[in-house]
Amino acid sequence: MPLLEVEDLGVEFRRRGLEPFRAVDGVSFDVDPGQTVGLVGESGCGKSVTSLAIMRLLMPRGNRVTGRVSFDGTDLLRLPIRDMRDRRGRDLAMIFQDPLSSLNPVISIGLQVTEVLQRHRGMKQSAARAEARDLLDQVGIPDPDRRLKEYPHQLSGGMRQRALIAMAVACRPRLLIADEPTTALDVTIQAQILQLLGTLVRENGTALIMITHDLGVVAGLCDEVNVLYGGRIVERANRHELFATPQHPYTHGLLASIPRLDAPAGERLHPVQGSVSDNIPWTSACAFAPRCGNEVDRCRSASPELTAAPLGHGHQLRCFNPVLPDGAGVGATGGSAPVDSAGEAL
Amino acid sequence: MVGLTKKKERIDQLAASSATAVVDPTDVESSGGSILADAWRRLRVSPVFWIGAVIISVFVLIAIFADVIAPHDPGELLLRSQTRLARNQLAPPQPGFPLGGDQLGRDLFSRLVIGSRQTLLVGVFATLIGFTGGLILGTLAGAFGGKVDTVVMRLVDVLLSIPSLLLAISIAALFANPSQTSVIIAVSVVQIPVFARLLRGQMLAQRESDHVLAARALGVKRAPIVFRHMLPNSLSPVIVQATLVVAISIIDAAALSFLGLGSQSVKVPEWGQMLGEAQQKIDSYPHLAFWPAGCIIVVALGFTLLGESLREALDPKNRR
């Protein structure tokens, strides 16, 4: 049985005098214990909003969250907020993008870690202190006794993210949501942080939702990948299939946009044309149609459903005219290359 | 060959010496510690801060040791024999009476020295009361938001829409027996909305901040979120404001006393009251107004300079 079942999750932002904006629209996915699921997409596709909705961290005013988020059998969206608060940090925790701004600048690292331990594990100050020391040690912060007394601005970027991870895993949560945890870090630190997350997940059997726009991260860490576009899942596959046979034109474009070291010098980059602002509503069309190279007439008149993809096993797709490996010079080799390069980087 | 190794040795030595030179002991000291240590590092080199600090220290020391410094009892009419108002004659400065006597023949210098106490008292207490009131209202509005915020802030808007001195005068006039206490209350009530508004704005910004979101994601309860994560991060502009409010309170209190809404006691001198009494004879004896007014201005200036330098030191834009 999956640990987390997200069913038909929708988030609407109400806007004064305008139609409400659907940031997340009918998103469904499951996460098994010990599994790492990726949510991938560009800025504004709804990946962070999805995670905040699962944690119920969206401000109550002006938002409407619909659907079901079932965690171990309980619907989190219908839980009294007091109970939800007890679960946050204990059963499910979250790691954020910018480690500096996610730490309280005026209190010491030690106090921030012990705060969680005292809150959820009912530890006394001295016991929490010792445990915090062990946690910092576990996440690979050297000289933890000294770091406990220090303030966030005295730590390096990598250490700050490690401290945040220590706080998130302090109570051994069963589900961890990482919202672009490596975006603010440089490449070598990124690799270390991803490795640390991978180790924690393996050792504790924690389920991990990895939110990212970096396909290298996906290649290195995720078991299953959901590609989001305009608030809907447009393609879902396991990692190997997604990189070997990307079939949605958007996924395909994302993979093609990664610059390759073996490309001839002077070759132009291949961006996905246009921007999110070109989107058209999903209601009676495909939101990606204006930016799509594979557009057919139907794309503007009907909304595609998430159905089984023509290729692959358990591979799902929301597209009328998918990109197929044998068609129009689009080779499966082109798509699979990033797996190797990104995999090596880790 | 030998020359080359020698040269290499020299370079190594040079590298070693420059490496030690980089580690400046003051740098090591300042890198340890918090935001306060950081602010102090910048304050230490600010001339504005030192001028303000010296003025305030001198003023506070005078107020504390006023009894020792003042040569005479400020209420006794010691120089009455030399004072002839009908002939426009006041006691001139003389040994033991550096500034001479006032219109009743009391020692002007002693009155100024003892009067510093009242000024300090008003400045500090009015600020403390205003700060506390603003802290409570601002925290309520900023922490709860929604309806609480609306009610509190409309109240604050109403108070802010009345000119502050006018409001202080109206409040002081409510008291049947004007006294130093009524002055403090009148002056502090006027400052409450200023503090409340400032703090509320900071709290609202903190509420949306990443670290508060991160704390909420860890299940931290509401009270610690407000008091440990939001409030301490919202205080620095409020503290700066408090220093400036000391100066404003001193001036406002002097204005109330000048208008006769302050202490009516003849025994306890107060600068604003002295200024009010001097007003009637300002043509003949401008120095009677000059001294208390000068004291008020210098002390207010001291607190303003301190506040401005604090503001600069705590401004995150100046960090690093």
Does the pLDDT at position A17 exceed 70? yes
Cα(B232)–Cα(B236) distance, integer angstroms: 8
pLDDT at A267 over 90: no
What is the average pLDDT score of chain A?
Answer: 86
The residue with greater pLDDT, B210 or A333, is: B210
Class of the B39-318 domain? mainly alpha
Q: What are the domain boundaries of chain A?
A: 4-213, 247-265+272-345
* Per-residue pLDDT at B9: 58
Say how many residues make up chain A.
346
pLDDT tens sequence across B27-51:
333 344 566 777 788 888 889 999 9
Q: Which residues lie below 8 Å from residue B98, measured CB to CB, with a gap of 6+?
A: B109
A57/B213 touch (CB, cutoff 8 Å), yes or no: yes
Contacts of B211 in chain A (CB under 8 A): 101-105
pLDDT, mean of residues B218-240: 90
pLDDT for residue A79:
92
Q: Which residue has the tokens 């009610």?
A: B151
- Measured CA to CA, the distance from residue B11 to residue B6 in angstroms comes to 9
Cβ-based contacts of A106 with chain B (< 8 Å):
34-35, 232-233
Mean pLDDT of B259-271: 83
Interface check for B147 against chain A (CB to CB < 8 A): the answer is: no
> For the segment A32-83, what is each residue's pLDDT rounded down to a tens digit?
998 999 999 888 888 889 999 999 998 878 889 999 999 999 999 999 999 9
Helix H or strand E encompassing A7: strand A4-13
Mean pLDDT in residue range B111-134: 92
- Residue B25 has a pLDDT of 38
Residue B3, pLDDT score = 54
B294 versus A259: which is more confidently predicted? B294
CA distances from A105 to A151, B34, B210, B239 (A): 7, 9, 11, 17
How confident is the model over A90-125, as pLDDT tens digits? Answer: 999 999 988 889 999 888 999 999 999 999 998 898
Which range scores top for mean pLDDT: B21-25, B38-42, B180-184, B314-318?
B180-184
Residue B11: pLDDT band (50, 70, 90) is: low
pLDDT for the residue B281: 80
Average pLDDT over every residue of B242-252? 91
Q: What's the average model confidence in pLDDT over A173-194?
A: 88
Structure tokens given for B178: 């004007």
- From the list B217, B228, B233, the residue facing A93 with the nearest CB is B217
Q: Which of A27-36, A275-284, B291-300 has the lowest mean pLDDT?
A: A275-284
3-state secondary structure A41-54: CCCCCCHHHHHHHH
CB count within 10 Å of CB B129 equals 18
Chain B residue with minimal CA distance to A55? B217
* Homologous superfamily in CATH for domain A4-213: P-loop containing nucleotide triphosphate hydrolases (3.40.50.300)
Question: Which of B35, B218, B228, B230 would best serve as a mutation to test chain A binding (most A beta carbons within 10 A)?
Answer: B218
Quick: pLDDT tens for B159-196: 999 998 999 999 999 988 888 899 999 999 999 999 99
For residue A94, list chain B residues with Cβ-Cβ distance below 8 A.
214, 217
pLDDT-wise least confident of B30-44, B84-98, B144-158: B30-44
In which region does residue A231 sit, left (phi positive, over 0), alpha (psi from -120 to 50) or beta (all else)?
left
B28 touching chain A per CB within 8 A: no
Residues 147-206 of chain A whose Cβ lies under 8 A from any Cβ of chain B = 151, 153-154, 164, 167-168
A179: Cβ contacts below 8 Å, ≥ 6 apart? A47, A48, A51, A94, A95, A96, A97, A211
Question: Are residues A113 and B220 in contact, defined by beta-carbon separation less than 8 angstroms?
Answer: no
- pLDDT number for residue A264: 83
Q: How confident is the model at residue A213 (pLDDT cuts 50, 70, 90)?
A: confident
Task: Give residue A62's pLDDT.
Answer: 84
ipTM value > 0.90:
no
Whether B228 sits inside 8 A of A104 (CB atoms) is yes
